[in-house]
Amino acid sequence: MKAMVTGGLGFIGSNLVDRLIRLGYKVLVVDDLSSGKIEFVNGEAEYVYEDFKSFLACPDKSIDVVFHLAAEARIQPSFEMPLYTCENNSYGSAVVAEFARRSDAKVVYAGSSSFYGGVYLNPYAFAKWQGEEVFKMYSAVYNTSAGIARFFNV
């Protein structure tokens, strides 16, 4: 099995990469290092240091599952940069969904517990919720297999 982890150099992503490798997966990590840390590199994984939205433009039939963790992951910056937050968290999810559709890969999407506080309270919560809706639509229309995990305190 081959897994792709977007945002695989963040805290959650790097721990997931380590676990997938221990489970015997081949792992491709796509991370632009905007918030990830190079010291989290696992020597057994393959890394692409690029914005996932441009890297995923081409399908890859060798990917079985995508763990989509890449995002603007904080509420406060979303107030100053709402367009950037929406681009990464909403549009970025559409890019991953389309990649999965073309590649016939399954997706696990990192949603957010901010959903439960209200999706209209800040650009971050809204954009993460929109990402969830993108995957629901791709599942309904294209039969893309996607699951959503809403993280709380990690």
Q: Residue 152 and residue 84: Cα distance in Å, rounded?
A: 23
Is residue 124 annotated as part of the catalytic site, yes or no?
yes
Active-site position among 25, 47, 109, 124: 124
Burial readout 20-53 (b: 16 or more C-beta within 10 A, e: otherwise): bbeeebbbbbbbbeeebeeebbbeebebbeebbb
Q: Please identify every residue annotated as catalytic.
A: 124
